[in-house]
Amino acid sequence: MATTGQAAGGRGDARLTERGIYTAALRLIDADGVGALSMRKLAGVLGVNPMSLYHHVPNKAALLRGVKNLVAAQFQPRVDGGTWQEQLGRFARDFRALAHRHPNLIVHSLGSPDFIEPEDPFWTGLTDILDSAGVPAAEVAPVGAVLTSLFSGFLLAEGNGALGRLAAMQPAPAKAASTAAAGVGADSDSSFEFAVQTLVAGLEARLS
């Protein structure tokens, strides 16, 4: 074991890597949330001194950005054919699937201003769809910004449980079990579909 006690902590990497740090941090975040992530715990998992991390990452904020970018890079929207409505729906679904894989990270990242970076495939994919929907070039960015904000709100609320709590609230005193017209259940999936269809329909109306 010599002097360095690296052991079996860091995925078998003897050397410390920026990438390795991010993936280890992601595992910790997935397990216990970003609130429970500390430089010391992360270093412990990697079998390394806390200060060693600072030779690969300038500070904790940058570490979180790095982790976020790591999972953001996994987002490959499939912008094949179909109407722009279908494309937008697929896009939203893909993004939500990614969010579901790392809910803790997403809930934290969506609250930060720098969530979306200029060159993200997310942003370019969205602007492409809006462009093909006929949104004037000068308005693609503002419209995309609004849609992103709204949709982020949904994912955030779904991720932290606020959506579920609200949806389960007082089903009105009078009649309780009348599953009537619009077709929205209290479960996450139908809430999601409702949100997407509302946004799409709203955009449709604003474009004609």
CB of 200 to its own copies, least distance (A): 7
**Listed residue (115, 208, 99, 114) closest to 163, CA to CA:** 99
Q: Count interface residues toward DNA (CB under 7 A).
A: 22
Is the Cβ–Cβ distance between 156 and 166 less than 8 Å? Answer: no
Q: Which stretch binds DNA (CB under 7 A): 3-11, 93-101, 105-113, 177-185?
A: 3-11
- Round to whole Å and give the CA distance between 104 and 126: 24
- Among DNA, its own copies, none, partner that 61 touches (CB below 5 to 8 angstroms by kind): DNA
CB of 77 to its own copies, least distance (A): 17
**Listed residue (72, 52, 76) closest to 64, CA to CA:** 72
- Among its own copies, DNA, none, partner that 41 touches (CB below 5 to 8 angstroms by kind): DNA
- Round to whole Å and give the CA distance between 33 and 18: 20
CB of 69 to DNA, least distance (A): 17
Which residues between 25 and 84 bind DNA (CB under 7 A)? 37-41, 48-52, 54-56, 59-61
C-alpha to C-alpha distances, 43 to 16, 52, 65, 206, nearest whole angstrom: 10, 8, 18, 51
Residue 24 binds to DNA (criterion: CB under 7 A): no
- Round to whole Å and give the CA distance between 44 and 40: 6
- Among its own copies, DNA, none, partner that 127 touches (CB below 5 to 8 angstroms by kind): its own copies
Positions touching DNA (CB under 7 A) are: 3-6, 15-16, 37-41, 48-52, 54-56, 59-61
